[in-house]
Structure 1
Amino acid sequence: MAIAAAALAGAWFFQLVIELVPCPLCLEQRYAYYFAVPFAAILAFAAARGAPRPVLLAGLAILVLAALANAALGTYHAGVEWKFWQGPTDCSGPVGNLGSAGDLLSRLDTVKVVRCDEVQWRFLGLSLAGYNVLVSLLMAAIAALGFVRTAKA
């Protein structure tokens, strides 16, 4: 729960303070964190209240799967950024139909398209999508460790 909350805080920091506007894939990668924070809190509360082991195991398994799915999405996004494969057409690849010249000029003043295949920020060679992969794998490992320990108890 704490790692997911910290990841969300970091994402919002980059968006609101550093003013890096997230692309559609960036926003989708937040879904797992939005799920994990309250779900992990409920699971921790249930564990503290002596919930049955099968309930705790199911909850931990769900957290593992959510984190692994998010790591897969982050890997896909990082691959799009590195041009290993094409991303979604709504935020990467060539620009399609722009409409008439008059419409184009008016739309350019009001719309800012954030591309999924262009990195806005890197640190130590990794983009935020790459760091999302690492954070998600860490969350999956912690939940899996909790699963193993709960199963043995």
Structure 2
Amino acid sequence: MTAVSPMGRTGSPALVAALAVLVIAAATIAGAWYFQLVLGLQPCPMCLEQRYAYYLAIPLAALTALAAGLHAPRGLLICGLVILALAALGNAVFGAYHAGVEWKFWPGPSDCTGPVGNLGNAGTLLDRLDSVKVVMCDEIQWSFLGISLAGYNALISLLMAAIAVWGVGRSVRQG
């Protein structure tokens, strides 16, 4: 009797890694939209920029999984996983930077941290305050267990990077 590898039923390591990154990225961006659209927690400019990695990861992970399912060349699959790993790792660094800005470990970008600047003249001030909600990047809007959303983004992005790197390593060894 021959032993069946864990990949035997689900496919290649590239497929498993790409599908895992796809599910995690889709769930994370759905959670971000839930916080914004359902709970009314408006994202700051840095929060919105952190979403870019997910907007890249979701279609790229789907394409990599599709390519793996169609038995594309191993080099192509590894390339897709490397790009996913680099995007996720870069986003983890950016999320950690943003969390540090929130905790006042270092200054953030001047356009979304610190005191609110010029609000116009006194005649239009009330009109502008009614229509504009300034979301500052250096204020923690929500946290759980002492970790802000930016901190969770860093952790989730590290997880996605680790999964992609695992897929690369297993794909290289498999070939």
Instruction: Bin the TM-score by the shorter chain.
Output: over 0.9
How far off its partner does 1:98 sit?
2.7
The structure with the largest alpha-carbon Rg is 2
TM-score of the two chains, using structure 2 as the length reference = 0.85
Over aligned residue pairs, what C-alpha RMSD do you find? 0.9
From 4, 9, 12, the counterpart of 2:30: 9
Is the CA contact 2:143–2:149 (under 8 Å) kept in the aligned structure 1? yes
Is the CA contact 2:119–2:128 (under 8 Å) kept in the aligned structure 1? no
How far off its partner does 1:85 sit?
1.0
> Is there any run of 5+ residues in structure 1 with no aligned partner, and where?
none
How far off its partner does 1:99 sit?
2.5
User: Could you tell me which residue of structure 2 aligns to residue 55 of structure 1?
Assistant: 76
User: Could you tell me which residue of structure 1 aligns to residue 146 of structure 2?
Assistant: 125
Whether 2:155 is the aligned partner of 1:134: answer: yes
How far off its partner does 1:94 sit?
2.1
From 83, 103, 107, the counterpart of 1:82: 103
User: Could you tell me which residue of structure 2 aligns to residue 29 of structure 1?
Assistant: 50
From 123, 126, 138, the counterpart of 1:105: 126
Number of residue pairs aligned between Structure 1 and Structure 2: 153
TM-score of the two chains, using structure 1 as the length reference = 0.97
- Deviating runs (4+, > 3 A) in structure 1? none
Q: Percent identity?
A: 68
- Inter-partner Cα distance in structure 2 for 1:142 and 1:63: 9
> Is there any run of 5+ residues in structure 2 with no aligned partner, and where?
1-21
- Inter-partner Cα distance in structure 1 for 2:117 and 2:143: 28
- Inter-partner Cα distance in structure 2 for 1:146 and 1:61: 9
